[in-house]
Structure 1
Amino acid sequence: MLPHHRGGRGKSGLGGGIPRSTWIKYGAIGIFSLLCIKFLFFVDPLSVEDLLPFQNKTILVIGQFTVELFPKHAPLTVEHFEQLISSGYYKENAGIYRAEPGFVVQGGGFVHDKLSPLGNVQVEYSEERMVVLARNKDPLSGNTEFSIMLADNSAINAPQGTSPGYTAFGRVYSGYPTVVAIANDMAEGYLAKKNKDQAVTFNSIDTVSQLAPTTADLRAVSDAIHDAAATRFSVVMFSKTSCPYC
């Protein structure tokens, strides 16, 4: 015969004789704890993008090369440029009209005497590797013309003497060999306005969103990968420009 458990089976029912008031007390504590956990996980003030190592960034697609825009560094200029794109400014009577291999290519509606549908934007200071807005001597004249740096022209773009410098608002993200090929294939210098049909037109130009790393370490890896095929140099934007022989 198997031995009986010492003390017998005790009372049947939930809790083995624990008073109902005790169960109610601990049940209330448990429910409150679950509600607190739910609040922490579902009402956290941090956004999803703050928690993830990648977030959406704005990419400018110009034919076969792309430019990454930096609204954090130059919010007014990026907003201005996106409005120009959405207005269709660059879709006709616009293109690349200046090529200086090893220095810069420049584009916009200058050789077509095309007027901007928007007002000018002031200079915003940022850092190298950016796209910058072109302008004339007036620091509030940035508008429609832009340049892509083919060398490290940081010293030229930075403020110096009476020049306020140029706004850097993006960088070549991919397809830099295409930009170099354009510079090498075009006649060096500015196109004369009578030869405006020789400008390299923008077959397509639009902005899209794309995931990008948010941490410094991941950003360094991403830059290294893209720089292997692209460049560390910047794209710059201008408003109006002048050409002594156009």
Structure 2
Amino acid sequence: MRKIEIFIGTLLLTCLLGLPWGTAWAQGGGPNPVVVFDTSMGRFMVMLYPGEAPETVKNFLRYVDEGFYDGTLFHRVVTDKDFKRNNVAGHNPIPYNIIQGGGFEMGMRMKQTHPPIANEAIKAMVNQKGTIAMARGNAPDSATAQFFINIKDNPSFDYKTIPDRIDPDKVIIKEGYCAFGRVIRGMDVVEEISQVETATLAPHENVPVKPVVIIKAYRPQ
């Protein structure tokens, strides 16, 4: 009861001071940490959910606390227009809408990372609009530092099992991408980033023509 009273008091004080409510939650000793992103296009804030994806959140906060993301880019922006352009000659990929960052510095120089982590998508949040998730390669357990933010609901990224068309007693497992937090402030900034002009910078596609820089990512004090 005492902890609840402290939290409510902190929340009321934060509202009076005009601070983000996520900051009050973090400072009040709650289980949900908050990370602020100052970018070259504005500021946004995410709240993380260790209850659903504990190792993923721990890994992400490690990079945040080390200052790893400072000076990195949002190096990949994918929206509906990309799929309309590529939907030719029978090629019809499942559309998705994301901004991706956290792995490259200016000049598209990839940063060295810690070892990859296990994919917790099976028990994590679904990839709804505004959620932040770990990017990875083809291997399910290959995520390191790169992340993406869902600009729209992207159900194709969720963990799921699908009946095998040949053998009904078997299922095909889609490992999915682990969503571990949600934008709680500044979604307008995220959406603005998603509208930037992109081009191919071989071998990378969908790279913003004008670099979008993560100036600093940090936990509010």
Tell me which interval the TM-score lies in, with the shorter structure as reference length: 0.5 to 0.7
How far apart are the structure 1 equivalents of 2:119 and 2:182? 17
More strand by share: 2
Out of 9, 24, 48, the position equivalent to 2:3 is 48
More helix by share: 1
Alignment of 1:121-160 (within 5 A): 121-124=117-120, 125-128=123-126, 129=128, 130-160=131-161
Q: How many residues align?
A: 161
How far did 1:83 drift? Answer: 0.5
Question: Residues 207, 197 of structure 1: CA spacing in aligned structure 2 closer, same or farther, 3 A cutoff?
Answer: farther
Matched, 1:207 2:201: no
Q: Which secondary structure state, in structure 1, belongs to the residue aligned with residue 156 of structure 2?
A: helix
Q: Show the counterpart of 1:240.
A: none
Q: Show the counterpart of 1:58.
A: 33
Question: Residues 197, 152 of structure 1: CA spacing in aligned structure 2 closer, same or farther, 3 A cutoff?
Answer: closer
Question: Residues 72, 191 of structure 1: CA spacing in aligned structure 2 closer, same or farther, 3 A cutoff?
Answer: farther
How far apart are the structure 1 equivalents of 2:74 and 2:102? 6
Deviations along 1:114-163, whole A, 9 cap, x unmatched? 110x2211111312244221111222211111111111102323335343
TM-score norm. by structure 2 comes to: 0.63
Q: Is the 8 A contact 2:133 2:148 kept in 1?
A: yes
Max Rg structure:
1
Question: Residues 51, 196 of structure 1: CA spacing in aligned structure 2 closer, same or farther, 3 A cutoff?
Answer: closer
Q: Is the 8 A contact 2:197 2:209 kept in 1?
A: no
How far did 1:198 drift? Answer: 4.0
Q: Show the counterpart of 2:90.
A: none
How far apart are the structure 1 equivalents of 2:5 and 2:154? 34
Question: Residues 153, 50 of structure 1: CA spacing in aligned structure 2 closer, same or farther, 3 A cutoff?
Answer: farther
Q: Show the counterpart of 2:168.
A: none
Q: Show the counterpart of 1:98.
A: 76
Q: Which secondary structure state, in structure 2, belongs to the residue aligned with residue 106 of structure 1?
A: strand
Q: Is the 8 A contact 2:36 2:218 kept in 1?
A: yes
Q: Show the counterpart of 2:116.
A: 120
Matched, 1:69 2:48: yes
Letter matched to residue 183 of structure 2: V
Q: Which secondary structure state, in structure 2, belongs to the residue aligned with residue 123 of structure 1?
A: coil
How far apart are the structure 2 equivalents of 1:145 and 1:73? 19
How far did 1:98 drift? Answer: 0.9
What stretches of structure 1 move > 6 A for 4+ residues in a row? 193-197
RMSD over aligned CA atoms reads 2.7
Matched, 1:84 2:39: no
Q: Is the 8 A contact 2:99 2:150 kept in 1?
A: yes
Question: Residues 138, 50 of structure 1: CA spacing in aligned structure 2 closer, same or farther, 3 A cutoff?
Answer: farther
Letter matched to residue 48 of structure 1: K
How far apart are the structure 1 equivalents of 2:186 and 2:7? 27
Letter matched to residue 3 of structure 2: V
Letter matched to residue 179 of structure 1: V
TM-score norm. by structure 1 comes to: 0.57
Q: Is the 8 A contact 1:58 1:208 kept in 2?
A: no
How far apart are the structure 1 equivalents of 2:194 and 2:62? 27
How far apart are the structure 1 equivalents of 2:56 and 2:145? 10
